[in-house]
Amino acid sequence: MATTAPLQTVPAQPAEGKMWRRVLAYWLIVYRQNWRSSAFSSFLTPLLFLGAMGYLLGPLVDSGARGGIPGVEYVAFLAPGILAAQAMMSGVNDSTFTVMAGVKWRKFYLAMLATPLGVRDVLLGHLAFVFVRLVLTSTAFLLIAFALGAISGWGALLALPVAVLTGMAFVTPVFAFSVSQRDGTSFNMLLRIGVMPLFLFSGTFFPTDQLPGWFEPIPWLTPLAHGIELCRDLALGTASVGMATLHLGYIALWLVVGFWLATWAFRRRLVV
Amino acid sequence: MTSQHPQPLISARKLTKRFGALTAVDGIDFDVARGEAFGFLGPNGAGKTSAMRMVAAVSPPTSGELRILGLDPAVDGPTIRGRLGVVPQENTLDEGLTVRENLYTYGRYFGLSRKTAAERSAELLEFAQLTDRAKQIVEPLSGGMKRRLTIARALINEPDVLLLDEPTTGLDPQARHVLWDRLFRLKRRGVTLVLTTHYMDEAEQLCDRLVVMDGGTIVAEGSPRELIDRYSTKEVLELRFEADDHAPYAPKVEGLADRVEVLPDRLLLYTEDGDGALVAAHERGLTPLSALVRRSTLEDVFLHLTGRTLVD
């Protein structure tokens, strides 16, 4: 080609990755339409668990032959566990079908990519929205748990960011998984054989030392057990800086590696 | 090049796109000048959409050179896309949002202020004749309305170039004409149009200049008139006989026209004088079921160049 000088002054757009707020703005408009229905399911589920397990089953646990959880009322043991586990649940829920919709059903990713936005903006903007949702639902649960007396003390406030980070540590790798699927058939499997067992066996309802010895280390491979333990330590005032750093470090590792994988998978799927 | 501008708006040299073993676009050269309506005409699978997606700066070329507004899409993708309007073949409207919200959110992707995005949305609703639908959810709208909304959406950033991939495929004839009318208005306003189509009437109506694509390559280039003059005759005589196979009739019409094409359901006789050829056919004792004399179209150009029809 003869010359490469621009034929006019083309107004420059920011670099890819710096326009994610425009994507978040889209998500907030979508959220304005459907927040009622999504709020209902994301607030109600943890409250049902807290009610059924904490307040109805809990007294039986506390008065059982083995005297329940040492040194703490069952509901106070349970509530921070639910906080973290619910963050994982709703985080994963927000990261499967909606991601596939962006590629295949509603195609909003494709619409965005025809504009100045790049893959990184699309990904960061969507992640930012899932983050906002996690903050909202976790805060709501925490406030209700405070009001009910299931959680108390200032340390519990620190459990909020830990729960949100725990959720995000699942969100980023699940984004990578979801965008790589052909359709949505694998998502229910992910919930049933991945998320649900984690929810049950990572220390939400009972200490992991209740698990058979050979099984006990397995939950610690995912960030959930770490998130639950740290939230609980913060709520009950038993946290130490050393253990907190280890837990947070492992959670952050998943988040960062997940983000890297998601960036790679999004690019592979969307830039062809 | 028909432009006075020293440099074309879009310029491609040896532009190539491969998907694994498949070469979708095989080293094509073309230029698009400002204010021009430029078309890629060809059947499905000719590489039009792949070429278009590279021009839209969403699909990186495998090799070759591509400049859009003088910029390299590999370097300045966001800035280039900021000046393009894209009407994709598949519907990418957010059908869960309202008509107005679709325009507004899209405008925000370009970095428009809330005020500008809202103002332009209102103007474009008018242009797309959708003002009375502004607050409705997109999902139940007709195909024609959705396509008009997609075009309106693509104009929200007042683009230098509007890229349309098969703009009227799947629309009924009336919706097509409404859409063509909108595109003519844009053309008159001086918006540069680049479109792909496998409808020769669409190419003839809308394009100042076009390239005919087949198998990933460009087989001819020119204005619709030039292409017809160069690759076809003034008139075509179509003869239909009572037979499932028309090949046996080809020798019987030999010499009646400059060139004969055999289609499964009819013979096409290319000649300067269709009526004269028909009289001559009758004189030979041929009794076709039907005979039609018409002007040559781009369909005939494509048939001549590739031996195949555009729409199969």
pLDDT digits (tens, 9 = 90+) for B102-115: 999 999 999 999 99
Residue A171: per-residue pLDDT: 98
pLDDT exceeds cutoff 90 at A97: yes
- From the CA atom positions of chain A, what is the Rg in Å? 21
Return the percentage of chain B with pLDDT > 70, whole number.
Answer: 97
Chain B partners of A29 at a C-beta cutoff of 8 Å?
97, 101, 104-105
Report chain A's mean pLDDT, rounded to a whole number: 93
Indicate the range of A71-75, B10-14, B133-137 predicted with least confidence: A71-75
Report chain B's mean pLDDT, rounded to a whole number: 93
pLDDT exceeds cutoff 90 at B312: no
Chain A partners of B69 at a C-beta cutoff of 8 Å?
6-8, 10
- For residue range B231-260, list pLDDT tens digits in order: 999 999 999 999 888 999 999 998 999 999
Residue B272: per-residue pLDDT: 94
Q: Do A272 and B92 lie within an 8 Å CB cutoff?
A: no
Closest Cβ opposite residue A29 in set B58, B70, B105: B105
**Secondary structure of residue A129 in the 3-state scheme:** helix
Q: Do A107 and B86 lie within an 8 Å CB cutoff?
A: no
Residue B2: per-residue pLDDT: 45
Residue A145: per-residue pLDDT: 94
pLDDT exceeds cutoff 60 at A180: yes
pLDDT, mean of residues A235-258: 97
Q: Angle of helix A241-270 relative to helix A119-148, nearest 10 degrees?
A: 140
| Minimum distance, in Å, between the CA of residue B186 and any CA atom of chain A | 20
pLDDT exceeds cutoff 60 at B277: yes
- For residue range A53-63, list pLDDT tens digits in order: 999 999 999 99
**Secondary structure of residue A68 in the 3-state scheme:** coil
Chain A partners of B106 at a C-beta cutoff of 8 Å?
111, 115
Residue B109: per-residue pLDDT: 97
* A-to-B residue pairs, Cβ atoms closer than 8 angstroms: 115
Return the percentage of chain B with pLDDT > 90, whole number.
Answer: 84
pLDDT, mean of residues A201-220: 93
Residues with Cβ < 8 Å from A13, sequence gap 6 or more? A19, A116, B78, B79, B81, B82, B111
Max avg pLDDT among A39-53, B26-40, B237-251: B26-40
Closest Cβ opposite residue A1 in set B9, B67, B108: B67
pLDDT exceeds cutoff 50 at A2: no
CA A198, chain centre distance (Å): 13
Residue B214: per-residue pLDDT: 94
Residues with Cβ < 8 Å from A112, sequence gap 6 or more? A23, A26, A121, A122, B109
List, in sequence order, every residue forming a beta bridge with B295; answer none if it has no partner: B235
Q: What percent of chain A is helix, strand and coil (3-state, nearest 5)?
A: 75, 0, 25
pLDDT, mean of residues B116-126: 97
pLDDT exceeds cutoff 90 at B200: no
Residue B1: per-residue pLDDT: 42
pLDDT, mean of residues B178-186: 91
pLDDT band at A42 (very low <50, low <70, confident <90, very high): confident
Residue of B14, B62, B68, B92 to mutate, testing the A interface (most A Cβ within 10 Å of its Cβ): B92
pLDDT exceeds cutoff 50 at B307: yes
* Chain B nearest-CA residue for A119: B58
List, in sequence order, every residue forming a beta bridge with B67; answer none if it has no partner: B11
Q: Is A37 on the interface with B (CB under 8 A)?
A: no
The more confident residue out of B2 and B160 is B160
**Residue with tokens 């009336």, as numbered in its chain:** B174
pLDDT exceeds cutoff 80 at A29: yes
Q: Are B251 and B214 in contact (CB under 8 A)?
A: no
pLDDT, mean of residues A209-213: 91
**Residue with tokens 């906002």, as numbered in its chain:** A132
pLDDT, mean of residues B91-97: 94
Q: Are B27 and B217 in contact (CB under 8 A)?
A: yes
pLDDT exceeds cutoff 80 at A25: yes
pLDDT band at B6 (very low <50, low <70, confident <90, very high): low
pLDDT exceeds cutoff 60 at B76: yes
